[in-house]
Structure 1
Amino acid sequence: MKLTYEEQYLMLVRKVLNEGKWIYNERTGVRCLTIPRAVMEYELTPESVPLLTTRPSYPVSAVAEIIGYIRRYEWANEFADIGSPTWFKNANETKAWLANPYREGEDHLGEVYGAALPEEYIRDVLQNLQDGIDNRGLKLDWWQPESFARACLRPCLSDHQFQIIDETVHLTSVQRSTDLMCGKNFNALQVYFLGMFGAKIAKMEGGTAMHIMNNVHIYEPHLEGVEELLSRSPDLSAKPTFNIADWVNDYTDLMDMEDHAREYINVKGYKGVPQPKIEFELIA
């Protein structure tokens, strides 16, 4: 019997606890239990949305962030205005960035994620996808080393490549660093949304999205929250669904508009649960 997303997630948490090695992370000054990699695959159907019932998932905020990348946002308040208030600390409290001459002031992030790519390049990829043209280069790659000096943070979930096979859209996404307790579920929702969005604008079936995660880790201060998480039982009765809004039929509906992320998705049947004790200061 095929495992649910939540079963796979909890198995991965246990794997890191049981097999992970202690690695000191210089950026945060904290030790992490770490394994080299993990891979998950998500079906691109409304019923396969990667949501959790043992801890809260945040689909609107996760989708808002990936929308902001495609729109090439460079300011934390831009992300917040569409539903993802996740960037203020990076913009305003990262010491190296505060001293960076490219920083333009409070809330400025610099050339993060999509802002590191030319607008024409993003448009070309999405237009070809929308037109059903797979040139083996339907690739959004936020990992642009020449932009790192002009950004507050290097991308974590950095590489997305669409493929069209037999009138079906597939996606492969690669992540360089995977914070299992803070970022992983957020990122899973982003991979899933991007795949669903690709299928919607191409007017094709959704296939699968493969999520390749490198450096999968749990920070030492998160272990108490992990214990609480693993003491909970998944809600097997929950049957949430996720759809891209009916009005979204063109990539420009997302890229060229300023709508809030909630306008792009319809999530039904999902109930939030209390968050385990997890300190969200440590990310990536």
Structure 2
Amino acid sequence: MKAYLELCQRVIDEGVWIENARTGKRCLTVINVDLEYDVSDGTLPVLTTKKLFWKPAIAEMLGYLRGYQSAKQFRDLGCNTWNANANENADWLANPFREGEDDMGRCYGVQGRGWRNPEGREIDQLRKIVDDLSRGFDDRREIMTFYNPGELDRACLAPCMHTHTFSLVGEHLYLTSYQRSDDLPLGHGFNQVQVGWLLMIMAQITGNKPAKAFHKIVNAHIYEDQLEQVRNIQLKREPYALPKLKINPDIQSLEDLETWVTIDDFELEGYRHHPPIQYAFSV
């Protein structure tokens, strides 16, 4: 939590105003951020200086692991974050590859579970990683990437947090997650939870122990219509201690995640937080 607040202050102090072509808004921007989360004792990196709706964050990542392509599928899991990008993005609405209402195209989990090579063969990146880690094997290629340059024109949004690399050292599992673009007031809280959760759930279904997650961000920014709230509300609040995440121990495999798991299989203990802040969302 302290590292997040320091990052927000760094953007305010050192950031440069950049005009974002997609949103038509200016944002204060810095390049290169490294964050680290120790989840070995079940601590989940949840923002406490505002209320974070952590269950939709987990639901979104669960949808990615299932390879979902429809905003409706995410809604059914309890996550509404894809409604606007699937149905209100003017460029996507005019895209000939869009397959109707709620279609997100070939982005995020679709690539993680069915990345297409030049011959059109689909590669299940996640399945390979789970199989390797479950037998205690790490070939230093335990990588799941949502970024497929050949299909960016077939997606409503290029992936922001785009690549996850798992590293097994003995029985301890590490995760390095790469993010090209980070909306600090609005999206970052989701992403931070997802990085921690992904490491914990992958350790559980592969029979390993979660260690540390490393969150690498290229472009961190605050939009101009968010700046006042960050400076005058969130940065003036004192953070609380981080909560612990309890995961249903019956979740033992990738097949469990694909079939019956819901957000009710996760419980956050000791989550104390300040009131929510309604930050502007940029489509």
Residue 38 (str. 1) matches residue 38 (str. 2): no
Structure 1, gaps ≥5 residues long: 1-5
Aligned-pair CA distance for 1:56: 1.3
Tell me, what secondary structure is at the counterpart of 2:233?
Answer: helix
Does the 8 Å CA contact 1:46/1:243 hold for their aligned counterparts? no
Does the 8 Å CA contact 1:130/1:251 hold for their aligned counterparts? no
Instruction: Give the AA of the match of 2:69.
Output: E
Within 5 Å, give how 1:1-284 maps onto structure 2. Answer: 6-116=1-111, 117=115, 118=122, 120-226=124-230, 227-235=232-240, 238=241, 240-254=243-257, 256-263=258-265, 265-279=266-280, 281-282=281-282
Does the 8 Å CA contact 2:49/2:273 hold for their aligned counterparts? no
Aligned-pair CA distance for 1:46: 3.9
Aligned-pair CA distance for 1:87: 0.4
Over the residues paired in the alignment, what is the CA RMSD in angstroms? 1.5
Structure 2, gaps ≥5 residues long: 116-121
Instruction: Give the AA of the match of 2:187.
Output: G
Does the 8 Å CA contact 1:46/1:242 hold for their aligned counterparts? no
Aligned-pair CA distance for 1:53: 1.8
Deviation per CA, 1:40-93: give whole Å up to 9, x if none: 111122442111221012221111111111111110010111121110100111
Identical columns (%): 38
Question: Measured at CA, do residues 141 and 239 of structure 1 come closer, stay the same or move farther in structure 2, by a change above 3 Å?
Answer: closer
Instruction: Give the AA of the match of 2:65.
Output: I
Counterparts of 2:84 and 2:5, CA distance in 1: 28
Deviation per CA, 1:221-254: give whole Å up to 9, x if none: 001210211122223xx45211321111112111
Aligned-pair CA distance for 1:257: 0.6
Tell me, what secondary structure is at the counterpart of 2:259?
Answer: coil
Counterparts of 1:243 and 1:128, CA distance in 2: 25
Q: Size of the alignment, in residue pairs?
A: 273
Question: Measured at CA, do residues 239 and 99 of structure 1 come closer, stay the same or move farther in structure 2, by a change above 3 Å?
Answer: closer
Counterparts of 2:18 and 2:134, CA distance in 1: 43
Question: Measured at CA, do residues 94 and 225 of structure 1 come closer, stay the same or move farther in structure 2, by a change above 3 Å?
Answer: same
Aligned-pair CA distance for 1:270: 1.2
Misfit runs of 4+, over 4 Å: none
Counterparts of 2:242 and 2:140, CA distance in 1: 35
Question: Measured at CA, do residues 69 and 120 of structure 1 come closer, stay the same or move farther in structure 2, by a change above 3 Å?
Answer: same
Aligned-pair CA distance for 1:259: 3.5
